[in-house]
Structure 1
Amino acid sequence: MRDGALWVTQNKTGARLGIEVTGELAAVIARISERPRRAISLFLIQDENGQPLTYFALRSRFDKARKHATVSFQFRDIRAKAATDTGDLAHSQKLLAHKNRDMTEHYVRSRTGERVRPLR
Structure 2
Amino acid sequence: MRKSALTMMSAAVVICGAVPALAQSGRTDSRALSCAQARATVAANGSIVLGTGRHTYDRYVANERFCPPHQMAKRATVPTRDSAACLVGYRCVLNTEREDRRWWLRRR
TM-score by length of 2: 0.27
Comparing both structures, which one devotes a greater share of its residues to strand?
2
Q: If you compute each CA radius of gyration, which structure gives the higher value, 1 or 2?
A: 2
TM-score, normalised relative to structure 1: 0.25
